[in-house]
Amino acid sequence: MKEKIQQRLKEDTAFFLLSIMAGLMIAIGGIAYLYITSFDSNSMGLKLAGSLAFTVGLTFIILLEFKLFTGLNCDLIKINYKEWYKLIVSFLGNCVGCWFGALLIFKTPIGNNVIARAIELYQSKLSLDWWVTLLSGVMCGIFITMAVLGGRACKSSKTASIIAVVFPIFIFVILGVEHSVANQVYFAFAILGGKPFTGQIVLSTFLVMIGNILGGILIPVVLFAKDKLLKNSKDNSDNEQLIKDDENTNK
């Protein structure tokens, strides 16, 4: 029993460390996006460049198999419910990584630009209606699942895998949909820049997390239902064939 507990503790510690690294990757992508778009947040060219830069973080998360909260959601229906606690562990680790990344950069020469842009996003995100925040989180969850499943489908080719990951991430950043972990980067910089930590941040984060989960499981649920339907259809066809064979034998 003691050995099992020690083994579980080691596994959970490793999982938490990988979650921190995932958060740091998101922070790196988020910082690049904030800095590039800080020069003109309305410039489509800079938004495109910033969104492309953001994909670096997610790409390395998937290639190195770091544990990102939103990336784990697509496997939620496959794992034992007793393992669901890892979603919370991953999110907490992701937050640590995000804050660590923010603390590394906010006092550097580019810090002011990054903080100013983060405050813009802080204000816009907290001003959204709750249902808009939730639905935006759902849409983001769908894009993340597309990236994760697409990367897995192309695992035999690293180039194809990276392309499958980059495009959904690039689009969701361009659209500005709500990513629960990336938001922690923006909130971290805004707070370091003097903005208060409020209950609105907690509520917004909770709504986005729920949305990310719902969006994250949507495609897997549909694929699971498809497999079940096709399996039942095949079983029925096989049964019908057996009946016909029996009838022919009796004749």
DSSP state of 193: T
In this predicted structure, the answer to whether residue 32 has a pLDDT above a threshold of 90 is: yes
In this predicted structure, the answer to whether residue 78 has a pLDDT above a threshold of 90 is: no
Mean pLDDT of the chain: 91
| Interacting residues of 70 by C-beta distance below 8 A, sequence separation 6+ | 140, 141, 144, 179, 180, 181, 212, 216
Rounded Cα distance between 92 and 94, Å, is 5
* pLDDT 10s digits, 208-238: 999 999 999 999 999 999 888 887 766 555 5
How far is residue 48 from each of residues 4, 40, 117, 151, 175, measured CA to CA in Å? 49, 12, 16, 22, 10
| Interacting residues of 227 by C-beta distance below 8 A, sequence separation 6+ | none
Average pLDDT (48-71) is 93
Q: Closest Cα to residue 21, out of 60, 72, 52, 75?
A: 60
- For residue 87, the model assigns a pLDDT of 95
Average pLDDT (200-213) is 98
Inter-residue contact 69 to 21 (CB < 8 Å): no
Could you tell me which residue, 141 or 235, shows the higher pLDDT? Answer: 141
Could you tell me which residue, 14 or 62, shows the higher pLDDT? Answer: 14
Global pTM reads 0.90
Worst-scoring range by mean pLDDT, 98-112, 198-212, 218-232? 218-232
Inter-residue contact 145 to 219 (CB < 8 Å): yes
Q: Closest Cα to residue 148, out of 242, 34, 85, 58?
A: 58
- For residue 62, the model assigns a pLDDT of 85
Rounded Cα distance between 165 and 151, Å, is 6
Average pLDDT (16-42) is 97
